[in-house]
Amino acid sequence: MRHKNLILFLFLVVFFALSFPVFAAENSHQGAHEHINLGEILSLYSILPFVGILLSIALFPLFAPEFWHHHFGKVSAFWAIVIAVPLLIAYKGAALHSFLHIILADYVPFIILLWGLFTISGGILLKGSLVGTPKVNTIMIIIGTALASWMGTTGAAMLLIRPFLRANNYRKNRAFMVVFFIFLVANIGGSLTPVGDPPLFLGFLHGVPFFWTFALLPHMLLTVLILLAVYFALDTYYYKKEGVKPQIDEGEKEPIRLVGSFNFIFLAGVVGSVIISGLVDWGEVNTLGIHRSIQEWARDGFIILMGILSLIFTSTKLREENEFTWFPIKEVAYLFAGIFITMTPCLLLLLAGTKGALGFLICAVKEPYHYFWITGILSSFLDNAPTYLTFFSSVLGKFYSGIPESIAVSKLIAENPIYLTAISAGAVFFGANTYIGNAPNFMVRSIAEEAGTPMPSFFGYMLKYSIVFLFPVFILVTFIFF
């Protein structure tokens, strides 16, 4: 009862605190709500609920873990309501359109793709006596990094995280292993094709050639090689320090084999549907006022079909052996619903360009290294796909204003490719900086905790790992390439 009263009190305080600047802005913008550009009107106050949900994700598991475990969905809904209700009251149709757009065009395909890859990969079991030595672990991360560009960071991460954890269940220090797995398999490995990570796919949809992203190969190789070397050194150090060996008798050794490999057909179906949806044009359909292409809805439906077929043809016993549960995808679905809703004002402010309250930030981005770091830092906390698109559009306007997009993109690649490289690398690489920087990060963390690996907190992940290991590498990438 005390918890409920506290939540109600906090809701009222935050609601009225945020409503004041929203309603104040409304007084000077009466009229046709459906046609106003909210990004040009909203103040920086509107991003406070987004900050609030980030702090909740960071602090509740640390200071109130039991409360968080049972009520994280309610906390997510609380912050979504805090921003949605004032904006809907103040801006009515314009706000409703913005929220519906991010739900139907961004959140729904996002969670469908995650669910499909999570469900299908959960039906593939790597059996055998796989022992997590520094050499074996490094090879597994290399394989996952190589796969990520071709089956997506989510697909590669969901495929390998469970066998990776099982191979190391006898080790004492495992958190750093999972963190480097997130760095490389769940993020940086997806740099080479539009299938690898959503922002690159968005670039592909806007005219960037499919194989152009191989321009990121030098940046990726440098980053991957340094992080792999650091990982191998850390793993070797802890392996020797622990002095623990797995208890496996010669007679118990089992050859390594894949069970449920038919699920790769369903994985191929998911990847193929994503690629095809970017190559065909079947027109558009209006859903609740949101225009979305028919091929995108068809892609989402096909991914759901692939997931259902995986559930039908994969035995329950196999999924149990694979320690498959629905909790990780449930946690991601609940939390990212709140994140996407509270993120809406942030994205609107960015998309407003120089006319919005974040105009100072847009104006400050001039050099390639600016694009790399600003796109990257924002992608660490916001959805990296619209962040990529914002600065992609910004650089096209900077050099080729008034030219049709298809021609402008060709000119950009021919004359100023370093800017597109900087935006692309920033959007993909920096997703590794936080648990929410890229969707599989949160899922990998959740699966690891379910398997008994204590993971660092939101801030602990940043302070102990991403700032210590990633930032120096990104600085080196900046000096060498940008």
Whether the pLDDT of residue 153 is over 70: the answer is: yes
Q: Under a CB-based contact definition with an 8 Å cutoff, are residues 160 and 144 in contact?
A: yes
Q: How confident is the model at residue 392 (pLDDT cuts 50, 70, 90)?
A: confident
Closest CA to 329 of 117, 16, 103, 101: 117
- Residues 171-192 have a mean pLDDT of 94
The model's pLDDT over 338-376, given as tens digits with 9 standing for 90+, comes to: 988 998 888 888 777 778 888 887 788 889 999 999 999
Q: Under a CB-based contact definition with an 8 Å cutoff, are residues 336 and 110 in contact?
A: yes
Using a pLDDT cut of 90, give the percent of the chain over it.
41
Position 221 scores a pLDDT of 96
Whether the pLDDT of residue 28 is over 60: the answer is: no
Q: How confident is the model at residue 9 (pLDDT cuts 50, 70, 90)?
A: very low
Residue 258: strand pairing partners: 126
Taking the C-alpha atoms of residue 104 and residue 482, their distance in angstroms, rounded to an integer, is 36
Q: How confident is the model at residue 23 (pLDDT cuts 50, 70, 90)?
A: very low
More confident residue, 258 or 82: 82
Position 24 scores a pLDDT of 43
What are the DSSP calls for 376-416, one per residue?
Answer: HHHHTTS-HHHHHHHHHHHHHHHHHTTS-HHHHHHHHHHH-
- Residues 8-15 have a mean pLDDT of 47
Whether the pLDDT of residue 31 is over 50: the answer is: no
Position 247 scores a pLDDT of 63
Using a pLDDT cut of 70, give the percent of the chain over it.
91
Taking the C-alpha atoms of residue 369 and residue 362, their distance in angstroms, rounded to an integer, is 14
For helices 217-242 and 417-429, give the axis angle rounded to 10 degrees: 30
Position 280 scores a pLDDT of 86
**Maximum mean pLDDT: which of 138-152, 323-337, 394-408:** 138-152
Q: How confident is the model at residue 466 (pLDDT cuts 50, 70, 90)?
A: very high
Taking the C-alpha atoms of residue 437 and residue 180, their distance in angstroms, rounded to an integer, is 14
Whether the pLDDT of residue 222 is over 80: the answer is: yes
Mean pLDDT, the chain, rounded, equals 85
Whether the pLDDT of residue 27 is over 80: the answer is: no
Gyration radius (Cα) of the chain, Å: 23
Position 35 scores a pLDDT of 59
Whether the pLDDT of residue 12 is over 70: the answer is: no
Position 350 scores a pLDDT of 78
Position 18 scores a pLDDT of 47
Position 248 scores a pLDDT of 59
Position 252 scores a pLDDT of 61
Distance set, CA 341 to CA 81, 82, 330 (Å): 9, 10, 17
The model's pLDDT over 239-291, given as tens digits with 9 standing for 90+, comes to: 988 877 766 555 566 777 888 889 999 999 998 998 888 788 899 888 888 88
Position 417 scores a pLDDT of 92
Position 253 scores a pLDDT of 67
- Residues 391-418 have a mean pLDDT of 84
Among the residue ranges 1-5, 89-93, 369-373, 405-409, the one predicted with the least confidence is: 1-5
pTM of the model: 0.82
Distance set, CA 288 to CA 93, 98, 103, 134 (Å): 12, 12, 11, 53
